[in-house]
Chains A and B, each alone.
Chain A
Amino acid sequence: MSVADLSTYRFSASHEWVKVIDGGALVGISEHAQSQLGDVIFLELPEAGATLTAGDKFGVVESVKAASDLYAPVGGTVEAVNDKLGANPELVNTDPYGEGWMIRLRDVQEGGVELMDSAAYERTTAG
């Protein structure tokens, strides 16, 4: 299990996380989500410059098992995508809260998607 400090992470019901960082936000998927997906093979992520509204589909994560859509927990403009994931998509499995981040947003706009703190989120995935 990850021992990441999740106090600065908030989670959507569709298992994405968002973490506000200086002037922007990082977005990825939760430990629970990566564990359900299994080995991640490929990620389809937006181009830098794309504009997202909270709740928009921003990409696809393809695992050995299935392809799953990714939804933006907050709105904003895509400032960068994690280009390490092209060659090493398994970072989503091994370090979902760190090296496995997917996109960095600026001009972040919250609202439209309900966000939970880690304790509330973990209650939704328990059992």
Chain B
Amino acid sequence: MAARTPLFERHTARGARMVEFGGYEMPLQYTSIRDEHLAVRTAAGLFDLSHMGEVQLSGPGAEAAVQRLIANDAGRIQPGGALYAVMCNERGGIVDDVVVYRDEDGFMVVVNASCRSKDVAWMSSHGGEAAALEDISDRCALLAVQGPRAVDLVASLTDTPVAELKPFHATFATVAGVAARVSRTGYTGEDGFELYVLDNVAAGLWDRLLEHGEPMGLLPCGLGARDTLRLEAGLRLYGQDMDEDTDPYSCGLGWTVKLEKGDFIGAAALRDLDPRNPPRRFAGLRLPGRTIARHGHPVTDGSRVVGEVTSGTFSFTLGCGIATASLDGQVDDAVPLFVDIRGSEVAAERTPLPFYRRRKGA
């Protein structure tokens, strides 16, 4: 049976439609994906992300262990800083994409729920031996507040000047009476925070955020809106846009690979690749009108298959279908592309990612 987050009763009390995701019963939507999506773009949304995994590495060997595990450079993370990174296998394929926080005595690595047990086993046997490694997921809840009103909302519930936090920085603060790691990060393309708190205080914080947020337009949001928001923002989803057979260059994550930092797992395989000509290319596609391409749909050049859709949805912000695709490496940028949607060939327009970029300061 699927596990429950400490907010399970909050979700069902609001009539959320629950689905199993990453081994947890999670809310897919409360009212409608469209309303929840637009709330995040125009006001704020509140997400339960307690299914995500958190792994702590501490002790004198922690930094070397993290450096060995991730392709990005943990040496660049200041205390209180965070870093997006991929963990690769020896072939350069992606084991998971993670966010790494540097703490005083070590690091916290946030992993995808669906990868948690795999990641913990991987980390324990591929560098983590040198550090004290602890999977704290079961006592750590995660709430995200995202949207143009999110910063004001969280700032109004704490004495810590969290509005001054820079993107990808975090601090410890008391929010609505609850001790939280407040992180200026997210997965929606909007400004906002992710709040890591202990399981037993998560429901109280959820209630306070709703109570203070609802008058400013905040809605509780499910995984449905999380997916449409992240795709508009051009953010990858592990298992769909990348997997253990995808190298970071092939899914447009070459910017997270720091070969010059020294050795790490997968470095040798990645050195053998040309970052500008990787085996596959990651492309953004716009589809006409309300056409929706889906994971696995073939992408053609009009006569032959040249790739496949990794993620696709309807963009509520743009009012058209959007998708990301993994294309054969040799497909020229000028080649017109089509998506084979259940037998009908739909012309797709290649678009730089992200599909949506928030206006800064808005």
**Per-residue A-contact encoding for B218-229, CB less than 8 Å = 1, 0 else:** 000000100010
Interface hit among B25-33, B47-55, B58-66, B181-189: B25-33
**Chain B interface residue bracket vs A:** 10 to 19
User: B224 touching A41 by the CB < 8 A rule?
Assistant: no
B294 within 8 A of A: yes
C-alpha spacing A62/B228, complex, angstroms: 15
From residue A125, how far is it (CB to closest CB) to chain B in Å?
14
Closest residue to B289 on the A side, CB-wise?
A42
- Chain A residues, CB < 8 A from B17: 35, 38
- Chain B residues, CB < 8 A from A66: 294
Closest residue to B222 on the A side, CB-wise?
A38
User: B292 touching A67 by the CB < 8 A rule?
Assistant: yes
SS class, residues of chain B in contact with chain A: mixed
Number of A residues near B (Cβ < 8 Å) is 14
C-alpha spacing A38/B224, complex, angstroms: 9
Closest residue to A86 on the B side, CB-wise?
B290
User: B292 touching A41 by the CB < 8 A rule?
Assistant: yes
B314 within 8 A of A: yes
User: B291 touching A42 by the CB < 8 A rule?
Assistant: yes
B326 within 8 A of A: no
B5 within 8 A of A: no
B34 within 8 A of A: yes
- Chain B residues, CB < 8 A from A93: 32
- Chain A residues, CB < 8 A from B313: 64
- Chain A residues, CB < 8 A from B32: 38-39, 90, 93
A84 within 8 A of B: no
User: B314 touching A64 by the CB < 8 A rule?
Assistant: yes
C-alpha spacing A81/B347, complex, angstroms: 26
User: A38 touching B290 by the CB < 8 A rule?
Assistant: no
C-alpha spacing A111/B228, complex, angstroms: 41
**Per-residue A-contact encoding for B227-253, CB less than 8 Å = 1, 0 else:** 010000000000000000000000000
C-alpha spacing A39/B31, complex, angstroms: 9
User: A64 touching B294 by the CB < 8 A rule?
Assistant: no
B342 within 8 A of A: yes
- Chain B residues, CB < 8 A from A60: 342
User: A41 touching B290 by the CB < 8 A rule?
Assistant: yes
User: B224 touching A65 by the CB < 8 A rule?
Assistant: yes
Contacts of A78-114 to chain B: CB distance below 8 A: 89-90, 93
User: A38 touching B292 by the CB < 8 A rule?
Assistant: no
User: A64 touching B290 by the CB < 8 A rule?
Assistant: no
Contact among B28, B29, B314 for A41, CB-based, below 8 A: B314
B residues with a Cβ closer than 8 A to A are 17, 28-29, 32-34, 224, 228, 289-292, 294, 313-314, 342
* 16 A-B contact pairs sorted by A residue (CB < 8 Å): A35-B17, A38-B17, A38-B28, A39-B33, A39-B34, A42-B289, A42-B292, A42-B314, A60-B342, A64-B33, A64-B34, A64-B224, A64-B313, A66-B294, A90-B32, A93-B32
